[in-house]
Amino acid sequence: MVNCRQPGDFQNTEKSDGMERSSGVLMAMSSLPSPYGIGTMGKSAYEFVDFLKAAGQKYWQLLPLGPASAGDSPYTSYSTFAGNPYYIDLDLLAEAGLLRPEEPKSVDWGRRRSAVDYGKLYENRLPLLRRAYTRGRRRYAKGVERFCRDNPWVETYALYMALKAQFGMLPWTEWPEEDIRMHRPEAVRRWSETLRDEVDFHIFVQFLFFRQWDALRAYAHKKGISLIGDIPIYVALDSADVWSEPKYFQLDSENVPKAVAGVPPDAFTADGQLWGNPLYDWDEMEKDGYGWWIRRIEGARKLYDCIRIDHFRGLESYWSVPYGETTAINGVWKPGPGMKLVGVLTSWFYNIQFIAEDLGYLTPEVRKLVADSGLPGMKIMEFAFDAHGDSDYLPHNCLPNSVCYLGTHDNDTVRGWLSHTRKSDRAFAARYMNITDEEGWCWGMIRAAMASASNLFVVQMQDLLELSGAARMNTPGVPEGNWRWRMKPGAASPELAEKLRVYTKTFRRL
């Protein structure tokens, strides 16, 4: 494995002498161009790696790669370990003889190439993968056997997906048969035999995913590109993770949640955000030294070189909402594991770089946890320009041990941000960054962020392309219409790569 941490990267110190400066691009796999409805691990992914190399970048930051459940959010997955079948490239399957070239081309993937049509994918992707399974199960039998040995989670995940199909895709909490809903061993054995072919299909799909992913990752490493990936702090209730190991979650004797996750009301959401994820039973997790988390990070290490822990502040204290509430208003703060867990992860995985997504409601206790962990936190430029204050996110306040962004997947594009920011804040930002009509706001903000002391700067692809708010990836608290933006073919051009390379070189981030 190629380690993310290189000499001088993200040292656990605020000293800047000798530290390597670098930059990267945030681009979801789903947003890559392809003729089959969504970005995949095929030609466009390899071309994007080439674009990053030409632009002098060191990192490709992705959104979670797991199989998304209801709502299509990559942060709500059926498994914390599995890969999304939608990202398996169909042309590569055709090259391997698992599909006929005309089969993917005969499918309706939706009318718009600029947006993912998840309904079409849900209807049409798995039938093609079943054909690949029928044609390839014997040819790749030994490889699949090795994959199962190396990934013990896959049998449980495959049975879970087979059971969901058996029960009309209902969440496990609504399965009509109690013994398998409660994950009783005898029922697991019986259903594994009954649904053997369907289980083997889902195992084969995961084999295909990781076969393509490993090849893409090896290519990225060959080009000098490291991969940053998110792990959401919580897992979905409708997941193989909660179904198979309920003892690690705050569930009652019937495996019904006692409380669920969210965030309290703030300036953006009067009712807060009710995420609905089951909360961890931290006392139970501590009993075996946080083995569940160690296994989780070990799985993520097979995907990424650097791991960003989403909602890091929830490890200090978390917002607990009674199950059944319709908003997050009536939640309460409860203590998280803090350095007991963080210390285990950073010592066990000493050769992996973690990034702390330390955004949201930051108390002195949260700030202390980030400081004690030594992990780089995040600075968001779109949050920096309050004309009445001196934000920690302003470039001159960024510390070396941090990652600077214009915005993340949860923020608007720069052009979208400009359309709703206050006039006074916009005027302050224009003065601070010396924005000119010739350079424009997107590249002016890129210049200012690249000039910051933050060791790493990451920019959304949408802002490199100077796109409007219509290209926003996600609007928190809004359940519909997210995760759909796709880049047009040819947009990651040699001219754009050269422009980005000039900025990167100017600010010593090559």
SS3 480: coil
| Radius of gyration of the chain measured on its C-alpha atoms | 23
SS3 249: strand
Residues, the chain: 510
Cα–Cα distance, 493 to 503 (Å, whole number): 16
Query: If phi over 0 gives left and psi between -120 and 50 gives alpha, with beta otherwise, what is residue 110?
Result: left
Is residue 462 within a helix (H) or strand (E), and if so which, with residue range? helix 461-464
Give the type of residue at 51.
F
Please name the residue that has the structure tokens 């049509």. 117
Phi, psi of 102 (to 5 degrees): -80, -15
Q: DSSP letter for 471, please.
A: G
| Angstrom distance (rounded) from CA 180 to CA 191 | 8
Name the token pair of 330. 């009536």
Neighbouring CB atoms inside 10 A of 144's CB total 21
Say if CB 325 and CB 259 are below 8 A apart: no
The catalytic position among 103, 200, 298, 410 is 410
Q: Which of 89, 305, 357, 382 is catalytic?
A: 357
- Hey, what are 460's tokens? 């959304």
* CA dist., res. 498 & res. 457, Å (int): 17
First CA to last CA distance, the chain: 23
C-alpha torsion sign, points 407, 413, 414, 418: negative
In degrees and rounded to multiples of 5, residue 339 shows phi and psi of: -70, -15
DSSP lists the bridge partners of residue 260 as 278, 321
Secondary structure string (H, E, C) spanning 363-431 = CHHHHHHHHHHCCCEEEEHHHCCCCCCCCCCCHHHCCCCEEEECCCCCCCCHHHHHHHCCHHHHHHHHH
Please indicate whether residue 310 is annotated as part of the active site: yes
CA atoms of 198 and 186, how far apart (whole Å): 19
Pairing mode, strands 59-61 and 353-356: unpaired
Nearest Cα to Cα of residue 83 among 249, 204, 250, 237: 204
CA–CA separation, 84 and 39 (whole Å): 11
Catalytic residue (one of 310, 358, 382, 463): 310
SS3 content of the chain, % helix, strand, coil (to 5): 45, 15, 45
Q: What angle do the packed helices 196-222 and 141-150 form, to 10 degrees?
A: 80
410 as an active site residue: the answer is yes
Q: Could you give the C-alpha distances from 309 to 145, 232, 344, in angstroms and in order?
A: 32, 6, 14
Residues with catalytic roles: 310, 357, 410
